Structure 1
Amino acid sequence: MKRIGAVVCALLFLLASATVPATAQPVPTSDPGAPRSLGVPLTDVLLIGGTVGTMSDGRRVIWSASSGTPAILNAVDPTTGAPVLSVPLPGSSGAYGVEQAPDGSVYVGTYSDGKLFRLPPGATQAEDLGVPIAGEAYVWAIVVAPDGTVYGGTSPGGKVFSWNPQTKAFHDFGVMAPGETYVKSIAYANGKIYAGAYASWKITELDPATGAKRSLPMPADVTNPTGKVVNDLRAYGDYLYAREGTPPGPLRVYDLKTGQWTNTVQNAAGLDVTPPGPDGRVWFFKQFEPGTSELIGYDPVTHAEQRTGLLAYGRIVNTRGIGWAPVNADGYPGQSIVGLFWRGLEFRYNPETGKSESIRTTIPGQPTEVLALASGAPGTVYAGGFLQGGFATVSTKDGKATYQRFSQIESILPTEQGIVIGAYPDARVYRYDPAQPWYSPEYSDEAPSGTANPVQLLNLHEHVQARLDAMAEVGGKLVTGSIPSGNTLGGTLAVLDSATGATVAIHDQFVADEGIMALTSDENGIVYGTTTVAGGLSTTPPTQSQATVFAYDVAHDKKLWEAHPSATAKSITAVKVDGLGRLWTVVDGDVYRLDPRTGRTLKVLDTSTTATAAAQLAVDGHTLYALVGGQHVVQVNTANGKWKPLFDQQALRMVYNDGDLVFANGAELIVRRVR
């Protein structure tokens, strides 16, 4: 999801592996250095926010927001799985909060732009109600009170707002929990609002009539709230349901009358529970074994669980809208439980007959922003996606892309043993053998079959790490660097055996309270890295004032030095060693040459005076290419230090491949000939 810097993110629903042509064909040009589009290599459907509700004519549908540019609010027919209405949400990339009001209005809280949208009953265009609180870029969750007032939780301020449909005015209730920068979840019950924090187990009860706030007591099994996200909240009747962490996690039940936590259901998948059925049960998915979850009914009074036999597969099976609706099919009398999973699969279950099934919806996929880019064999690059995720092998000649469904990918490193992939969350490391069929049971929604490829080598969840941003290989060892999760500070440097994948060493807080942004290596077995002072959420106050460049001796498992090239730089995002063994980085838009023995600055090339955007470096022997300020490309002769501007090309990522520079700009790949 959100990464440092807050970078946010066909007509056929993609299967677990598919070959797709680039959506934009390469543009012929007589100028070999002119930009040439390779198209969009990554396309998939991603559903996050959702609810079961009605159309203006009374038909029950599953409302669901699909991520893209822009995001789309879909109304899905639970019988056919087809969207009966699709409404763009201009300027937004996606939505976690989708709720329907008693008057039939559908409200959507979006991310990247931090807005609230309203779709009136019968309308085909959404109303942009604006940004509820200035400076809040994410609306994480919303809930609608019986009187139609909308409440929502935000970041990076950790606030709650309301929107009054009569006065059409927003109100800012302020920070819910001191020190918490996210309100990740929200619920309404008996005139009170319940707001859940992201970085620790804190639930705040807000009285919107008076503005008074109080903290709910801690559950008995939560001895240390740090790192325990209140990811989901929902209130029905006398009970508040609160689920912890990334799925699966404990779902805790709070009795609103007695003020006591009464039960915990382990391994709940989230992201929601149904309204109670006629017998008082709520329904949700629970994991009974890794990779397999099952829909269950839960009685909040007796704590009894009823299994259904409706199974869901994969690492992520949390529901994106779940509730009650009629299904016009045999075996589904009355009301059935219906909902969607993140990749557009619909599930349904009838409690009366016990019949259940899953069907593929026809919600179209959306282009995925390229977050990771790596150079492979001549004429080949590898792309990894943000949020929707996915992995693609792309030809630089014609843009032909082979797409594989996968996690959000932070980094890619081709090696002799296979292609190593750094994934979010939990700073996971995988190795993919391109000579064998791709099969990821974690990211397939079908029953497991076949041998996993890629294979997971490392998971840093227990080390409170989120993003595996950096990798390098030297001396038979794979070295990785990561960014922490939650409101924590400090990255982890891990060392793995390249041949076996076994973990050799793990160093938490390798650079005190700084996350690791980039790694590279030289022929002498030394790994060089760069850092950021920011924490996992980029809202945690840093304890360090300067980003760091460091050197690490892999064979002796020893840090050699730390250096601070700039007194002002908070993040240094690129580092490379050239063909002469010289060490280069980019600091505040300027290219620096450092002494690989000490980290001392040897030369500063004044390549930019104001650029502070994330930089990229690529090397071809004695030639260094630098992307500074996110758009200016310069060429450096590393033998003599002379440089010249080449061209402007807006991009997040840049790699060199066989005479070409390949750029990732949003969802598109662009190639420019430089040699």
Structure 2
Amino acid sequence: MISRNKLIFYPARIWLMAALVLLLACSGIGNRALAADLQVNNFSFEQGLAGWTKIMDKDNGNDNSLKGSDILVTSEQASHGEFSVRIYDAKKSRSFGLESEKISIEAGAVYIVFADVLVESGKADLIIRYYNQHGELLEEANTTVEPTDTWKTVQVSRTAPEEASYATILLNSDKKNEGTAYWDHVRFTKDYTNLGVQVGTSAPLGSTFGIGENQNKIYSVVTGNANDRPIMQIIDADNERVIDAITLPSAGVNPTGVWAATTSTDGMIYLGAYQNGRMYKYVPGETTITDLGTPLPNEAFVWDLTPGKDGKVYGGTFDRAGFFEYDPVKGFTRIGNMPIYEPPGEDYKYLRALVHDPGNNVSYLAVGSNASVVHYDHETGNMTDILPARYKTTPLAGAVDYEGERVFVSLGGYIVVLDVTVDSNGTVTATEDAAIASTTPRVSPERNGSVYLIQRSGLARYDISSREVTPVGHAVPGRVQRFGWVKLQDQENYPGETLVAIASTNNETYLMKFNPQNENFRMVRVENTPRIPGAINSIGQGPDGNIYTSAFLYGGLGVYEPFNGDSNDRQPEHVYAPIEQIDRMWSYNDKLYLGVYPGGKLYEYDPKLPWNPGVNPKLLIHTAPYDQDRPKAIAYGNNKVFMGTVGETGQREGALSVYDYETGTVTVHKNIVQEQSIIALAYYDGLLYGGSSIRVGYSSTPSQEEAKLFVYDPETQTKTAEYSLPAAYDGKKLTSITELKVIDDKIWGFAEGYLFVFNPENRTFEYFDEKFPDVRYPGGTYRDADLVAIDKDPNYVYGTIGSKYLFKINKEDKEITILRSDGADFLTNDSLGNLYFKHNDTELWRYSF
């Protein structure tokens, strides 16, 4: 078996500090593991004939001469690496073969062998053999290859008999044959193979600093997935390592992750989770975390937490924008209505961020879809939206801090600073002090009249009285989750209090330290952090033949090289970072296109060139200025690349964006389908076909009833037609066209559980039928089905749907054959026609046949 080093690849340079950080990130990463892919020893003959045995049967007559026949390794030809093996057969009365070492297999399972062959003359056979535990040959199956002009990949498969314990591969020239064949790159696989985790993370999300005797401790949570609960890591800011890691307790619905974290005035640590909407308490020094239950019933997210007086904690929820108080003595109390605040005509679902001012007994609540920041008076219950009118159409605020008697609101790359006053009659007035551009959400606690923040990926200081922003001169790559002031043990190098930040950088946990007295600065990767597999969020085949994946929330670009994976299912093999969550990826024109959330971005990545963010991958389209957020569809044609998007939170208008390679320009068509998202695209014969969904930006109620199929002409840059789907059997209108694929000069697609075939020539739906009655989305969806057509099986189309089924469709009669119904999502193929899909949330699986 061949073992491989695990590698994490990071960009060579963003700037000098980032480069140093990334080099540190690479240190300590790398475990050796046995091969999970059932690799054939010396599969490409780069080590001569090691692991292979020559097989020559006896002559049928009395002539024992080989007549020059031989089996040898040569560099004359090669499809993989530098060498191949040549089998030269000059005698019809004898067979000449080369047999691999025995491979342990599972009786009753189906196994497939692939090999590259170049047959110069005669014929050649690829044979799979099964043996019992005593080494006795039980069965074999073969594929015969005729002469070929170039290298060709062939395959043979057979179900292992009940008594089988081993399999071998035989490269053979039978006794009736004379000729020459070259063999290379032999691959062996089971029909279904778990290829394991492709993208993992050690990055923090919800984070908070301890107080009192724990003031040098940082408590942060690494996000989990459907199989792995989140882990709270406890970081010692002095020694820059995790000193303890505690998994959140299980529940009826397990937590997936934690956005909300805070420290109460009595030093307790509180966490608010999703998707189960529960709250957790940690007493510093203990070994377990306590589940406090759901603050508000039927809420999926506890989005943020903030401390109040006397050990109390306030929190906000989704999806009914609830506001609550937690008292360690009395428990949970709902405050006000749900939603806590909602202007007429709005549909507010989020209480996304909040902060409490204990001196005035006031909380500031960031609610929305469209942004509102509410001044909530706890004594009177009065509420006033203090956000200036010019920000009312922006998306939901990402964070709210209260420092130095100012409210700091993070809105779409700005931090807006508000001075809030309350008149004697109770009138609340907010004056805008500043709008600081190019910032990430958080500001530090105030010290000496200033707060610190991240602007243009560098540390900066904001003077509250002068309203001036001054760069400190140190790069802070990644995203700061929380700032705190810590009195470090090393008072010689860090006298007094030091500003410490915990950051998510390249899927790792980092600490930043800055001492204002001597300006000492340090950015370092935290040691001993727990790593959790990332939930796969997209899958695509690269132009280099590799299979690429990305993870929900944390992004990254995982790379799987077919048949060269390892067996450590908990660790990814190759990950490129940083890159945010990739919602869609596809290959065209020798490039891999990456649709990235947030901001509705499209990147072009060339796998032949080094990974270098800002250069490769290169940003082609950025649709945040057009109120777009989630890229769900990509297509290529006419020297243009097209992207379909979902609008930002609170926005109903989706968009079709076009990048023109000839001009280097971007055109964004908002609302190309009235108040719908664009989630499926296919290019055919000079025209672009698109599918929509009534599901629009988060926290927005759909205004439309049915999905549309539309036609766009790239030459005129106009929508030329729009079609409703045929009527569903139950009379309900279908809400989402989730897939479009050009197959045999027709447009195949899925709309919820219905398969349709659209004929571009006569513009009719020539087939429409419900295939999956259990796949329905009354409110629309952002994505669902995938279809793949592969050359080696021209009579079928393969697909996944409903995060449940892997299936194939007979092209002639459109009958469905279910291959798996235990969870399958996303779908792509490799050059051999093997299919790759997500299973168990974090695992990449391969189906071979």
| Residue 187 (structure 1) shift | 0.9
Q: After alignment, is 169-178 or 325-334 more displaced?
A: 169-178
Which moves more between the two structures, 424-433 or 605-614? 605-614
Cα deviation for residue 256 of structure 1 reads 4.3
Instruction: Please point out which of 321, 333, 354 is paired with 2:482.
Output: 321
Letter in 2 for 1:635: K
CA contact under 8 A between 2:801 and 2:824: conserved in structure 1? no
Aligned-pair CA distance for 1:378: 8.3
Provide Cα deviations, 1:89-111, integer angstroms capped at 9, x if missing partner: 24222222110112221001122
How much has 1:514 moved relative to structure 2? Answer: 0.6
- Please say which structure displays the higher CA radius of gyration: 2
Q: Determine the structure 2 residue equivalent to 1:44.
A: 201
SS in 2 for 1:529: strand
Distance in 1 of aligned mates of 2:499 and 2:391: 36
The amino acid across from 2:754 in the alignment is D
Q: Is the 8 A contact 1:20 1:402 kept in 2?
A: no
Q: How far apart are the structure 1 equivalents of 2:315 and 2:630?
A: 27
45-54 or 154-163, larger mean C-alpha shift: 45-54
Task: Please name the residue that 1:226 is paired with.
Answer: 393
Amino acid at match of 1:84: I
Instruction: Specify the SS of the correspondent of 1:555.
Output: coil
What residue is the counterpart of 1:479 in the other structure? 642
Whole-Å Cα distance in 2 between the matches of residues 306 and 53 of structure 1? 28
Greater than 6 Å deviation, 4+ residue runs: 10-14, 17-24
CA shift digits 1:623-644 (9 cap, x unpaired): 2112233222221122443432
**Residue pair 2:296, 2:324 contacting (<8 A) in 1 also:** yes
Contact 1:483–1:536, Cα closer than 8 Å, also in 2: yes
Alignment of 1:282-321 (within 5 A): 282-287=451-456, 292-296=457-461, 298-305=462-469, 307-313=471-477, 316-317=478-479, 319-321=480-482
For 1:57-72, list aligned pairs within 5 A.
57-58=213-214, 60-68=216-224, 69-72=228-231
Whole-angstrom CA distance in 2 between matches of 1:40 and 1:325: 37
Q: Partner of 1:148 in structure 2? A: 311
| Cα shift at 1:121 | 3.2
Deviation string, structure 1 residues 388-409 (Cα, Å, up to 9, x no partner): 1011221232336421011110
1:461 maps to what in 2?
Answer: 624
How many Å apart are 1:546 and its aligned residue? Answer: 0.8
- Name the CA distance, whole Å, in 1 between partners of 2:304 and 2:6: 28
Unaligned 5+ runs, structure 1: 1-9, 442-451
Distance across 2 between alignment mates of 1:501 and 1:556:
15
Aligned partner of 1:364 in structure 2 is 530
Query: Hey, what's the Cα distance between the residues in 1 that align with 2:654 and 2:675?
Result: 7
Report 1:439-454 matches (<5 A).
439-441=612-614, 452-454=615-617
Which one of the candidate residues 433, 439, 447 is aligned to 1:263? 433
Aligned-pair CA distance for 1:515: 0.4
Q: Is the 8 A contact 1:22 1:38 kept in 2?
A: no
Q: Which amino acid aligns with 1:410?
A: D
TM-score, normalization by structure 1:
0.88
249-258 or 527-536, which moves further after superposition?
Answer: 249-258
Task: Give the partner amino acid of 2:774.
Answer: T
- TM-score, normalised to structure 2, is 0.70
Aligned-partner residue type, residue 349 of structure 1: F
Partner of 2:847: 672
Whether 1:517 aligns to 2:672 is no
Percent of counterpart pairs with the same letter? 22
Aligned to 1:3: none
Q: Is the 8 A contact 2:708 2:724 kept in 1?
A: yes
Aligned CA RMSD, in angstroms, stands at 2.7
Between stretches 508-517 and 539-548, larger displacement belongs to: 539-548
Which deviates further from its counterpart, 422-431 or 410-419?
410-419
1:252 aligns with 2:417: yes
Cα distance in 2 for residues equivalent to 1:93 and 1:142: 17
Are the counterparts in 1 of residues 6 and 574 from structure 2 also a CA contact under 8 Å? Answer: no
Measure, in 1, the Cα distance between the counterparts of 2:708 and 2:320: 28
Amino acid at match of 2:36: Q
The equivalent residue for 1:337 is: 499
Structure 2 unaligned spans of 5+:
13-25, 39-104, 112-189, 424-428, 567-572, 778-783
Give distance in 2, aligned partners of 1:272 and 1:250. Answer: 8
Question: Aligned equivalents of 2:421 and 2:520: distance in 1?
Answer: 34
Distance 1:350 1:108, change over 3 A: same
- Select the structure with the greater relative contact order (CA < 8 A; seq sep ≥ 6): 1
Cα gap change, 1:475 to 1:305, in 2 (>3 Å): closer
Secondary structure at the aligned position of 1:573 is classed as strand
1:527-542 residue pairs with structure 2 within 5 A?
Answer: 527-537=688-698, 539-542=699-702
Question: Counterparts of 2:724 and 2:197 in 1: how far apart (Å)?
Answer: 38
Are residue 663 (structure 1) and residue 842 (structure 2) matched? no
Between the two proteins, the alignment pairs up a number of residues equal to 636
Q: 1:238 aligns with which of 405, 408, 418?
A: 405
Q: 1:153-191 CA deviation, whole Å, 9 max, x = no partner?
A: 111212212222112234253213312221111011121
Partner of 2:242: 83
Superposed CA offset, 1:191-214 (max 9, x none): 12210124333111223455x232
